[in-house]
Chain A
Amino acid sequence: MSPSPGADRPYGTGIAVTSAAVLHPAAATVTELDRVLRRGDPALRPTPVPGAELVVPAALLDGFDLRSWAGSHCADQSGRDRLRRVAGRATLPVRTACCVALAAFTAARLTDAEARDTSVVIAGNNLALGHQSRTAAAYADDPATVRAGHLLDCFDTDALGAVGEVTGCGGEGWPIGGSSAAGALALIHATRMVAAGHAPRCLVVAPVNDLSPVEIGAFVKAGAMARVGAGGDATAACRPFDESHDGIAVAHVAAAVLVEPVAEAHRRGIRPLGRILGSGTGTDGRRGTRPDTDGQVRAMRGALSDCGLAPSDIDYVNAHATGSPIGDDSEAAALAEVFGTAGPTAAESTAVGPTGVEGPWVNSTKALLGHGLGAAGLVEAVATLLQLAGGYCHANPRLTKPVRPDLRFVTDTITRAPLRTALSNSFAFSGINASLVLGRAEEDCP
């Protein structure tokens, strides 16, 4: 395959992901996430919904203890003390945001002066719905339980202030919502800020998006959430792109990355995790939760043309694919349209799958981790970079009967392949579509 240079910006923005940190019930570090992906076992547990006769598959950080996280992930005592002082009593989203932010920031080895002009982008909205619902229930029971401190907990901006205090980052601050596409939108905004020179670097942080039982119940009523029946296997409950798919599984995930020009990472002697080559995003211009194949196609094509790559230059697609039938089917159709054999350069491709299907490998990280909502786009960008660096596409063990025959899905076995470029999709309610083109750290490939 030879890369096909585009008109304006062949092979991307020159922006690197210098460092990354993640937090998930099955992965407390990026190395552990890499292991989870390589193993390919879904990390979902049967999870009863409080107050409802309902068990759903989920991966939750219930009882997450900031002190013990700090004990095993913070080398210096002052960092541990600062973390505990700033975030010890904050909501789960803010506690997790501070942990991943501090880990990614520390790995980037910035000076205090560099920290001060580092911008912070927080991904996600309505982050603390679980906390909100418990607080409202306590209030209904006894209005005297109201605390002044609720003014911090109730607004998503608390994560921005807390991350700034924990890391010393004091540049521009951008809370970016976008429901399930927030992680991707935040990464796109950070990349644009750095590429345009509005910020020397950005710390992008996606806190845990914590739902209450009310939202879980609404997902169930909408027919969008998988359920675990009596004696059922939660690890088999979420099956993106499989004909039997019947809903999403939610997850508590937090992630953080430092975004800066590739040359800056090299100047500090750091080998980046990978590069952000291009992005495309748009809206369907209408209210609702229904996905729109045309809008998804536009986002993917926009991302490709942003970095001057052709569909045949993409080796791997990390799909949004949540396991919801409507969403999966729409995305599969969009992928077939973008990467199908009708593409002008597909005939040149030497990459042919075991079933004779051409095109990029396709998998869904949500099958393994669950759906991190606002954090999904960011943790999946990290998962994509890990797979590019490791030359593998993780398995989707419950994908046995794919919804389409013309896409090259990774099924029950890890696929090892030399990968150079990947496309990562994030689609959200309210018609938000976002695609990122990511590349390996090595600059000799696109």
Chain B
Amino acid sequence: MTHDKIWEVLSRHVRDVLGDLQDDEIHPGQNLRDLGANSLDRMDILVGTVDELRLTVPTGALAAAPTLGGLAELLHAHREQP
């Protein structure tokens, strides 16, 4: 599973849950909270992404990653080994 694939799925879920975003608002340095995501939105984005990618990630670990780039890194680290 590539970084690109993880980023594509994550940013799609960000868009689905938060809607009404400009393209330049979704970048690795962006913080979900700054996009207007509340704690329930974060859960929806993270659970949706993890489910689609069929990963097993402790939610506590995801909560620690503040930026979209950091989240993508974390998901990549938990990907299934080939």
Residue numbers of A with Cβ under 8 A of B are 67, 84-86, 88-89, 147-149, 151-152
Contact = CB atoms under 8 A, between A and B. Distances in A.
B19 interface: yes
Interface string B7-50: 00000000001111000000000000000101011011001000
B40 A85 contact: no
Contact of A148 (B20, B36, B47): B47
A151 B36 contact: no
A13 B41 CA distance: 45
Nearest to A65: B20
A148 B19 contact: no
Given A88-B20, A88-B36, A149-B41, 11 more contacts: A85-B36, A89-B36, A89-B41, A147-B44, A148-B40, A148-B47, A149-B17, A149-B44, A151-B40, A152-B38, A152-B40
A437 B52 CA distance: 59
B40 A67 contact: no
Nearest to A87: B36
Contacts of B43: 148
Contacts of A89: 18-20, 36, 41
Nearest to B39: A148
Q: Is the interface of A mostly helix, strand, loop or mixed?
A: helix
22 contacts: A67-B20, A84-B20, A84-B36, A86-B36, A88-B19, A88-B20, A88-B36, A89-B18, A89-B19, A89-B20, A89-B41, A147-B17, A147-B40, A147-B44, A148-B40, A148-B41, A148-B43, A148-B44, A148-B47, A149-B38, A149-B44, A152-B38
Contacts of A152: 38, 40
A97 B40 CA distance: 21
A15 B68 CA distance: 51
Interface of B: 17-20, 36, 38, 40-41, 43-44, 47
Q: Is the interface of B mostly helix, strand, loop or mixed?
A: helix
Contacts, number: 29
Contacts of A84: 20, 36
A431 to B, nearest CB: 37
A340 to B, nearest CB: 56
B33 to A, nearest CB: 10
Nearest to A161: B38
B60 to A, nearest CB: 16
B81 to A, nearest CB: 27
Q: Which 9 pairs from chain A and chain B are nearest by CB?
A: A85-B36, A148-B40, A148-B43, A149-B40, A147-B44, A148-B44, A149-B44, A88-B20, A149-B41
Contacts of B41: 89, 148-149
Contacts of B38: 149, 152
A143 B17 CA distance: 17
A147 to B, nearest CB: 5
A88 B41 CA distance: 13
A435 to B, nearest CB: 40
Contacts of A148: 40-41, 43-44, 47
A407 B40 CA distance: 55
A84 B25 CA distance: 14
A152 B41 CA distance: 10
A88 B20 CA distance: 8
